[in-house]
Structure 1
Amino acid sequence: MAIKRLAVTGYKPQELGIFNEKHPGLAIIKKALKDRLLLLIEDGLEWVLVSGQLGVETWVVDVVWELQEQYPQLQYGVMIPFLDQEKNWNEQKKAHYMEMMAKADFTTAITNRPYEAPWQFVEKNKFFVLHSDAFLILYDEEQDGSPKYVKRLVETYIDKHNASYELLTIDAYDLQMVAEEEQQRIWEQHEFE
C-alpha cells in the first residue's frame, strides 16, 4: 500500500542535547528525514502531518519546505494537540512556529482548548494514527524519550486493528549511516579539489 499521508514525530530538542540551529547533529537529522521523505515521495507521498511540537516535528517541516521547491505537490498539515502550545516558547521558536502555521496547507487544533492535562497528547497521537497511513518516528530504543509513547500506541494499533498501517523509524544506526555518508562526501569533495 502506498503511503499518501505520513505522520512524523520524534525527540524534542532537549532530549537530544540540541539547543540551537548550529548543532552539527541537526544537519544529520534533517538529512535522514529528507532521505526518507524522498523515497516516500517517489512512491506517492502527498502529505506530511505533524503536531507542531519542537524538535523533529518542526525540523521535518524545514525539510518539507526544501522539498517543495522540487516537489510542489508535497503538502503538510499541522494539527496541534491544544491551543496556544507555543505560549511559553522563546521569541525565535514562536516566530518559526508562526511561519510554519502560516505556510501549512492545513491546520487545526485537535482538542480546540488550551492545555488541560496529558490526555490531550494521547488524543493527539490517536488522531494521527487514525488520519494517516504510516508514522515515521525518530526514536532509538537505547535512548529513552517522549517518542516511546507514540511508538507503543502505533504498535498496539497495528496489532489490534490494522496490519497494513506502517511504523517507520529512524534510529541511531540510521543517523550514524547518514553521518558517515556525509563525511565520505565531504572527504571526496576535498580530495578532488
Structure 2
Amino acid sequence: MSRIWVTGYRSYELGVFKDKDPKVTVLKYALKKRLVEQLEQGMDWLITGGQPGVELWAADLAVELKKDYPQLHLAVFVPFEGFGKNWKEANQAKLAKAKSQADFFAATYKGDYQGPFQLQGYQDFILNHTDGALLVYDNEFEGKSAYDAQAMTRFQEKAPYPVNRLDMEALQEYANDYQEAVNEERWNG
C-alpha cells in the first residue's frame, strides 16, 4: 500500500485546545509509531485533509518523518477552496503551514462551501485515490470522523480497502508505552 489516507478526530473533539496539551504528545507518539509501520510496508504518500487535530498532526509528522524516510510525500486535500477561512487565526496558520510543507495540495471543489455534497465528494475522491487508511477513531466516542468511518465501510463493500484503526484502547496502550519510555529515559538519563 503506497497511498495512505490519515484522518481522525478534530482537536476540539478530544478536548485539545493548546498545542502543549499532553494528549497531543501521546497522539503524535501513537501516530508516528503507526506511520513508521506503514512506511516499512511501502507507504510513500501520506494523504490527509486540513482539519485541526489528527489530520494536521499527521501532516507535521510526515514532514518530520521525511528525514528518515525520504521516499515519503505529503498530500493535503481539502473539500473546497475556501476551507478554513472562517477559523481562528491559530488554526488558519496550521493549515497554511501544512499547505506550504505539502508536496501536493488541492481542493476537491472550486469555491466556498456550497453543501454536504462537497464533503461526500471529498470522501469519495480520497477513497478512490488511496490504497488504505489510518483512522484515529473509536465507535464508543463519536465525532465527525464517524462519517469517514462509515464511508470507508461502504467503500470496503465494493473493493478491498484496509483500515488501520487507532481506537481509545490502543491510544491508552501507546500512552502507557510513552510514559514507560519517558520514565526509563529519566532513570537512565
TM-score, length-scaled by structure 1: 0.94
Look up the SS of the partner of 1:99 in the other structure.
helix
Give the structure 2 partner of residue 90 of structure 1: 88
4+ residue runs of structure 1 moved beyond 6 angstroms? none
Say whether the 8 Å CA contact 1:139–1:148 is kept in structure 2: yes
2:140 pairs with 1:139:
no
Look up the SS of the partner of 1:124 in the other structure.
helix
Q: Cα distance, 1:37 vs. partner?
A: 0.7
Structure 1 residues 188 and 125 mapped into 2: Cα distance closer, same or farther (>3 Å)? Answer: same
* Alpha-carbon distance between aligned partners in 1 of 2:47 and 2:98, rounded to the nearest angstrom: 12
Q: Cα distance, 1:188 vs. partner?
A: 1.9
Per-residue Cα deviation, 1:130-178 (whole angstroms, up to 9, x for no partner)? 000001110011101111111111111111x113x11111011111111
2:158 pairs with 1:192:
no
Give the structure 2 partner of residue 22 of structure 1: 20
2:159 pairs with 1:162:
yes
Say whether the 8 Å CA contact 2:2–2:44 is kept in structure 1: yes
Two-structure CA RMSD over aligned residues (Å): 1.1
Read off the aligned partner of 1:64 and give its amino acid letter: A
* Alpha-carbon distance between aligned partners in 2 of 1:58 and 1:13, rounded to the nearest angstrom: 10
Look up the SS of the partner of 1:114 in the other structure.
coil
Say whether the 8 Å CA contact 2:49–2:77 is kept in structure 1: yes
The 5 Å alignment of 1:5-154 reads: 5-154=3-152
| Structure 2 residues not aligned, in runs of 5+ | none
TM-score, length-scaled by structure 2: 0.96
Give the structure 2 partner of residue 180 of structure 1: 176
Q: Alignment length, in residue pairs?
A: 189
